[in-house]
A = this chain, B = another copy of it.
Amino acid sequence: MRYSSFIVDGRATWGVVATDGTLVEASATGAAPASVEDHIETMSVDVTDRLRAAAERGGGVDPSTVEWLPPVRRPSKILGVAINNMIGQRLAFRPFANPAFFFKPPSSLVGHGQPVVVHESWGVTHPEPELAVVIGRRAKDVAEADALAHVFGYTIINDVTSPGLKAEDSIELVSPPGTRGGAYGRLLGWRNVRDDDHARSNYLTYHARSKGTDTFGPIGPWIVTADEIPDPNQLGVNSFDGDTAVFVDSTANLMFSVQRVIAHASAYMTLLPGDIVHCGTSMRPAEGGPFRGITDWDIRRVDGRPMRIEIDGIGALANPVVVESDR
């Protein structure tokens, strides 16, 4: 089944995609939880059965008349995986031994079709087309073999990222003569930290603005339940700048599998129903395409062309870009 949240006739609501392509509101099938996340939390068999029957009947709202919302509007956390792609590891002298995580806040989420707003002064800002897992059951210390049993379903996220803002949020750790400035880098085991050396500076980088600014998290249009995705590690992820294919990739090229990502996260952070875990960017340039790397897709330069991400078995997430002048 496909779950979505949307605005129709000025009301924020949620429902399922029917076999005739219409959107059936949950509230039209009888008593229903207030939101997709409330439904995931309670997982009432009765509600699910009614939604399934309604999806078969159809006759709901025309999707072209709704405003799409993030399918889960306020997850307790949104966890991303850094550089989780075989190609991405070319950046690294020593690849990550385990998935490394960052957060996006719920305030960054927008639905399918909603604009991403970027400022010229923020510097290079680019999409990251990714598979997003929606957690169904609380997960703490789960094994890789059990991880997928905790998944409610899958959706598409565009993990918009601004290296320009990231640069401003990087601090240069150095050691003015006579100080202990290199101590933190040594504590982190950085190989090239010397207390007496200005030239060999290092940077500590914080990602909240570069990943978490308002509208930097387009997601949707819907969640496809896990029963319809037999193997989340075999899904094509294709991205388009307007109509031009720019990245052609697959979740098979993730360095750490979906199971591994969930298991590792759950060893440290309790995952709750409705939480989002997105699994790493696709970044294989399309043959003959205009971009060599994902950071070349600077959305300040797309001139009205929407970003579009298609994932096998899920659908397509498309969002226009609005470039604002600086405040």
Contact = CB atoms under 8 A, between A and B. Distances in A.
A94 interface: yes
Interface in A78-111: 79, 82-83, 90-98, 100-103, 105-108
Nearest to A98: B168
A8 interface: no
A291 interface: no
A9 to B, nearest CB: 25
Interface string A206-219: 11110011100000
Given A103-B208, A208-B101, A184 B268 contact: no
Contacts of A188: 163, 166-167, 170, 203, 205
A82 B269 contact: no
A38 to B, nearest CB: 13
B105 A295 contact: no
Given A101-B209, A103-B103, A206-B100, A192 B184 contact: no
B213 A269 contact: yes
Interface size class of A (residues with CB under 8 A): 35 or more
A55 to B, nearest CB: 31
Contact of A206 (B102, B171, B190): B102
B179 A163 contact: no
Contacts of A214: 140, 268-270
Interface string A112-124: 0000000000001
A183 interface: yes
A36 interface: no
Contacts of A269: 105, 107-108, 208-209, 212-214
A243 B40 CA distance: 46
24 contacts: A77-B107, A79-B208, A92-B171, A92-B181, A93-B198, A94-B172, A97-B168, A100-B209, A102-B206, A102-B207, A102-B208, A103-B208, A124-B187, A141-B327, A163-B184, A163-B187, A163-B188, A183-B295, A184-B295, A202-B203, A203-B204, A205-B205, A209-B269, A212-B269
A67 interface: no
Contact of A83 (B106, B107, B171): B171
Contacts of A163: 184, 187-188
A185 B115 CA distance: 29
